[in-house]
Amino acid sequence: MLNIIETNLQFNGNKTIRDLSTIKRIILHHSGVSVLQTVETIHNYHKNSRGYAGIGYHFYVRKDGNIYRGRPLEYVGAHAYNHNADSIGICAEGDFNLETMSDVQKNAIMELVEYLRGVYNISSVQGHKEVCATSCPGANFPLSEIVNGTITKNETVQTTKSIDEIAQEVINGKYGVGEARKQSLGSLYNEVQAKVNEILLGKKTTVAKKSNEEIANEVIAGKWGNGQDRKAKLATAGYDYNAIQKIVNQKLR
């Protein structure tokens, strides 16, 4: 489930409105610095120091996989000189000439690209360096993977449901058996399966809980999604979202 975090960034009059039907391309960038930056920091820098209307990118994907709205799509971006009019600019937090990208960030960008491809008439996805003289988005940026990639979705469960509800669905045959069930239930499998056994066999099996540290590593590996989706999944599985998010942020610093 794609989750775009809406922002309330204020843009000045120095912008060009476009018709959304003119959008044909996605251009990928990196922030080019290793320090963590909020979307507001970049917005203020572009607005106050560069004289743009506001942040030049339409989306900003942070290292923790959270996707933020930057410039509204109906404003022409300011991210690739001479290539802004028909494109959407996506910026990944980090310097990918020096760093490698975590799976959680890569998956988020792939999901965003897939979503945009489904909504707009996108004919190409390019790295900034393919259209301008720059090293952006960096030598280690997983460009071909993102451009060609198809996302394997292994968590198809609606996590707004309780474990009891999902267990009942399992019993009703909704998620199949064996490996198929495991695939569909993803990170919820152990807990749901324990509940299924409890209902069917009348036995209580306890699910060994992982440490927050282990879960934080799984979050970084992309196993828990992002944004509200991640929050819901962790809560459903009985974990403390805030405590885990804190560890994730420390690890990505």
Residue number, 56 or 65, with CB nearest to Zn ion: 56
**What is the DSSP-derived secondary structure letter of residue 221?**
T
Residue number, 141 or 224, with CB nearest to Zn ion: 141
Give the span between the Cα atoms of 190 and 208, in whole angstroms: 9
What burial class does residue 93 get, using C-beta atoms within 10 Å of its C-beta: 0-12 exposed, 13-18 middle, 19+ buried? buried
Closest CB 213 distance from Zn ion, rounded Å: 34
Which of 32, 29, 108 lies closest to 67, judged by CA?
Answer: 108
Which of 169, 161, 171 lies closest to 200, judged by CA?
Answer: 171
Total of chain residues touching Zn ion, rule CB under 5 A: 3
Residue number, 29 or 46, with CB nearest to Zn ion: 29
Instruction: Report phi then psi at 88, rounded to 5.
Output: -110, 130
Residue number, 136 or 196, with CB nearest to Zn ion: 136
Binding mask 18-47 for Zn ion (x = CB under 5 A): -----------x------------------
Closest CB 57 distance from Zn ion, rounded Å: 9
CB 110 within 8 A of CB 127: no
Closest CB 29 distance from Zn ion, rounded Å: 3
Closest CB 176 distance from Zn ion, rounded Å: 44
Residue number, 126 or 168, with CB nearest to Zn ion: 126
Structure tokens at 209: 């809980």
Residues in 113-172 at the binding interface with Zn ion, rule: CB under 5 A: 128, 136
Q: Given the rule CB under 5 A, which residues bind Zn ion? A: 29, 128, 136
